[in-house]
Structure 1
Amino acid sequence: MNRAADNAFAEPKEAFPYKPPTEDIKKSYRYLFELDGPLPGRLPKLIFDKLVAGSLLLVAAPILLLLKFGYLIEGWILPENKGSLFFFYNAVSAGRVFRKYKIRIIKLKYIDPEGARRGDWMAYSAEWTPESRTVLGRFVKSFYLDEIPQFYSVLRGEMSIVGPRPLSVLHYERDREQGNVTRSLIKGGLLGLGHIHKGTSEMGNPIYEYQYVDQYIKRSPMGLLWLDLTIIASGIGVMVQGKGL
């Protein structure tokens, strides 16, 4: 195993860009820090989530079949790249632990099998190392196709289309220790006000999660749905650029 593989299970610095709440955030959103979540769901948002997740899973089914076939072919040509299409690690949404499924983009030698059995995010931490990725894995990551299985979590009610990104148990606990509360209040999402800034210096700025939770509470159910639609539109713009990290 090469040096990169030897260091595969060290946590990359880029994996946790989330910063603690500033004094301005604590002052401006003081009431959020006093809440004992999770907050109740909003019916239009819930209906929208399930309709979109179910529809997109149907649309994505042929893509997943093609990827499965492609993974089999790549594993036959390059044996070190073979392996399952999906994997999961334990993450937290609205304060509750669930299995966050994704498409595997790295070679098996970069995955810690014992950690994988526990659902430990650290088992897959090499994902941030470009040389660990399979040929198809690089393509999948570029266009965020590895996120497709999370629509299943949305359909199950464990996630939402829009919300703060659900973190692994390790990172959720770190986020809470830093003083952040947003991810304990509402369901994690595929997209969020913060996540659409991925790749910029604004990624990890907690202000966006607080702004969204504030609007989650203050807006009417339909007003919240409109906000979600605007965030989704921005997120699609990011995805089609093919700049997934």
Structure 2
Amino acid sequence: MSDDALLNSLAADWEAETRPEASSPLPWSVRIGKRGFDVAAAGLGLLVCAPIMAVVALAVKLDSPGPVFYRQLRVGETTAKQTRLFHMIKFRSMGVNAEAKTGAVWAQKNDPRVTRVGRFLRKTRLDELPQFINVLRGEMSIIGPRPERPGIVPRLENSIPFYAERVYGVRPGITGLAQVSMDYDETVEDTRCKVGYDHAYALALTKFSSWLATDASIAIRTVFVMLGARGR
């Protein structure tokens, strides 16, 4: 089966099984369990990672001029009534005003805009640690589809079938099935492949048992991604 056929099949199943009439496609047991895990994991994560975050903050500050943190507008959870926008927080990994001339574009391999410390942070995904704050605010989940920038979303929606449905009733995540299965996006085709993973993850959220097993598996795989410095 081709990638397009797989994507359309997954998306059709997602529409048929989870989209009808309700304000959220997820069972209450999954929503409550997922939110409880998010709050506990994010709170514990901030406490445990505080020393690491302090070292990272110092390294970012000493490596290049500019702020330690970087806030970027992203598209969050979509419901029948609204699409939520929020500012995602990261450790700054690029120079200040890196997209002033190019606009919203994906980072490339060996991207010259990425700082020396930023390159290490992106490989180990340590630049994502401040997003625990977004999770506690209810803007993100520990595990879910990756949130995209509003400036890029229209192009993706026009190019990829059912792209918008990937965050229907699902908070975007720090990590997720697509994130641990593939590298960062560089092209629309990369995103097209990831959307298939996002819809497969959405199907796993329709039952409590499958959600629990899937999230546990993704959490374990995330640890190996970080230890293996597979980011970019």
Identify whether the pair has TM-score above 0.5, normalized to the shorter chain: yes
Match of 1:158 in 2: 139
Tell whether 2:32 aligns with 1:43: yes
Match of 1:148 in 2: 129
SS state at 2:168 partner = helix
Deviation string 1:168-223 (CA, Å, 9 cap, x unpaired) is 11233334333321213311111222111123999532222112111212x12x54
Question: What is the distance in 2 between the residues matched to 1:46 and 1:69?
Answer: 32
Matched-pair contact (CA < 8 Å) for 1:216–1:224? yes
Match of 2:211 in 1: 224
Matched-pair contact (CA < 8 Å) for 2:11–2:199? no
Which of 179, 183, 187 does residue 161 from structure 2 map onto?
A: 179
Tell whether 2:62 aligns with 1:94: no
Assess, with a 3 A threshold, how the Cα gap between structure 1 residues 137 and 35 changes in structure 2: closer, same or farther.
same
Tell whether 2:189 aligns with 1:189: no
- AA matched with 2:141: S
Match of 2:100 in 1: 112
Q: Which runs of 5+ in 2 are unaligned?
A: 79-83
Displacement after TM superposition at 1:109 (Å): 5.4
SS state at 2:44 partner = helix
Matched-pair contact (CA < 8 Å) for 1:29–1:214? yes
Question: What is the distance in 2 between the residues matched to 1:126 and 1:29?
Answer: 28
- AA matched with 2:221: S
Assess, with a 3 A threshold, how the Cα gap between structure 1 residues 46 and 68 changes in structure 2: closer, same or farther.
same
Question: What is the distance in 2 between the residues matched to 1:131 and 1:20?
Answer: 36
Match of 2:200 in 1: 211
Question: What is the distance in 2 between the residues matched to 1:70 and 1:126?
Answer: 24
Matched-pair contact (CA < 8 Å) for 1:110–1:132? yes
RMSD: 3.0
Displacement after TM superposition at 1:50 (Å): 0.5
SS state at 2:157 partner = helix
Match of 1:78 in 2: none
Q: State the identity %.
A: 25
Q: Which runs of 5+ in 1 are unaligned?
A: 1-17, 75-80, 116-120
Deviation string 1:134-180 (CA, Å, 9 cap, x unpaired) is 22111111111111111111111111111111111123333433332
Question: What is the distance in 1 between the residues matched to 2:149 and 2:174?
Answer: 14
Matched-pair contact (CA < 8 Å) for 2:145–2:198? yes
Q: After the TM superposition, which residues 14-53 of structure 1 pair with which residues of structure 2 at under 5 Å, given as runs?
A: 22-31=7-16, 34-35=19-20, 38-39=24-25, 42-53=31-42
Displacement after TM superposition at 1:69 (Å): 2.0
Question: What is the distance in 2 between the residues matched to 1:20 and 1:54?
Answer: 40
Displacement after TM superposition at 1:21 (Å): 7.5
Match of 2:120 in 1: 139
Question: What is the distance in 2 between the residues matched to 1:133 and 1:155?
Answer: 28
SS state at 2:74 partner = strand
Displacement after TM superposition at 1:62 (Å): 1.6
Question: What is the distance in 1 between the residues matched to 2:117 and 2:155?
Answer: 32
Of residues 98-107 and 127-136 in structure 1, the stretch that sits farther from structure 2 once superposed is: 127-136
